[in-house]
Every structure is written in structure tokens, then in C-alpha cells.
Amino acid sequence: MSIHRIGHEISVLGDHLEVAGIGFLPVNAFVLHAAEPVVVDTGLGLPDRDFVRTLGAVLDPEDVRWIWLSHPDRDHTGGIFALLESAPRARVVTTFAGAGIMSTERPLPLDRLHLLNPGQSLDVGDRMLHAFRPPLFDNPATIGFYDEKSAACFSSDCFGAPMPSAELAEGDSAGDVKDGDLRAAQLLWATVDSPWVHLVDPGRYADTLAPLRAMDPEIVLSTHLPPAPGLAPQMLDTIALAPGADPFVGPDQHALEEMLAAFEPGPPPGPGR
């Protein structure tokens, strides 16, 4: 994992997954250094990750007051229970649906929950965090927020894009990717992660982008994209095209067998070879 600091307000805990045929998908968590510190998502749950230890490089886990769970998918919840143990004053910000989905595997303690709906706000001591439903999402419990003090939009999966390399996936700026390449990658991710977008009325979908255009954030922080300062207008123009983009069709069994065959070791060398 890598750590990037954005001014005095935000730390990015960067990670990635290599996805065959797609690229290197960023998987970020964030720390908002508010008066009441906020951890946004808790990374992957793979055995070799230690989220609390990584977090400790930027913030004492005991100081965490809020854990904003943007939605309860496994690439967002990896360290949540370890963090709850290490942060005794922290409460998990999620929706009623989010808490319910979590309960199918391991319930969150009810006395540690703070239920919040899109359109509501959370006071974290020195600023208000305004919750909203991102235009693109893959989970019905998804909830992002806008931080009025840092002018940062935390967008969950929305605006994500697989990167061509691990270095770019854990890089400090989506601006390092060429505009055309970033546009193509974001449209690919939109069709992979939110395939329902091809079924919606384009006009009604466009209406969901309007609040973010009015928000006009200085930086967009997506789980699946390097930090994106100054790119919100062009990225909104990109995802506006998602309903008309080519649908994603994943590899089938024949393609899987070809991939497996490509990785099969050859016969051992014979004598004298």
C-alpha cells in the first residue's frame, strides 16, 4: 500500500488489484483529518493486508471518531472490524441497507452505528459532511459525501477507472493519465461496475449529474481512481456518456481455459537439455 497526503486535510491509503483483461484497479481508503477524524472505507480484506497498521502511519487509530462506509462490498470493508476494536470511540456511518447487508456475514454492533441517508449531513466538529447518492454505483447502500471545508467529493466507486500499471493505480494524480486514456478507462469501469446504466432513461440519468456539477468540487476522491484534482467537469462529461457506451462482455469459459493454458508450465527439460 502507498500513502499520499493532500494538503493538511486528507490522507490517501492507496492499494490496487490486478484484474485480468481489465488492468490495475485502484482500491483507496481515505482519512479526513477533521476535528473528529473520519476514515473513509477500510480497504481490502486479503490476508496480507493490515489496514490498522497502515492507518497508524498517518493517524493513531484510537483517535478515529467516524468510519464512513461508502458501501458494504468486500473491497471497502477489509479492516472495519479490526478498526472498530482499535478505535473504541468510532462509529460507523452507513445506511439502513448498508447495516443490513453487513449483517449477512458479520453484523456491525448496533451501538456503534450512525445511520445517514443521502441528503443528510454529519457534523464532524469543524465541518459538515453532506451525504449524496453518486450517479454510478454497484450497491444499493452506496453513499458518498462532500466536505465543504476541503471542497473534496468522496464518490465511492463512481468515476473509477482501471489503470495500465500498478504505479499509476497507486499514483497521486489521475491527471497523470492522458485524457483520452482516462476517458476510455472510466467508461469501461462504468459499464463493468454499473451495467444497469444501459437501461436508464438518458435524460433522467443526466439529471443525477446536476448536483455534482453544482457542487463543483476542487478534487474528486474515488475508491477506484487516483486522486483527481481539477478534473470534476471533464469526468462528469465522461460518465454522462455511459448509457450509450458499449456494454462490457466478460471472458467466457473458452477464454478462461485459454488463459489457464497460457500459464501452464511446460514439460521439464530432458537429459542434456
User: Which amino acid is it at 49?
Assistant: R
Tens digit of pLDDT for each residue in 99-153? Answer: 999 999 899 999 999 999 999 999 999 999 999 999 999 999 999 999 999 999 9
| CB-based burial, 108-137: b 16+ in 10 Å, e otherwise | beeeebeebeeeeebebeebebbbbbbbbb
Nearest to 242 by CA among 267, 205, 269: 205
Which CATH number applies to 2-262?
Answer: 3.60.15.10
Instruction: Tell me: pLDDT of 272 over 70.
Output: no
User: For the chain, which residues make up each domain, given as ranges?
Assistant: 2-262
Question: Model confidence over 210-250: pLDDT tens digits?
Answer: 999 999 999 999 999 999 999 999 999 999 999 999 999 99
Note the pTM of the prediction, 2 decimals.
0.93
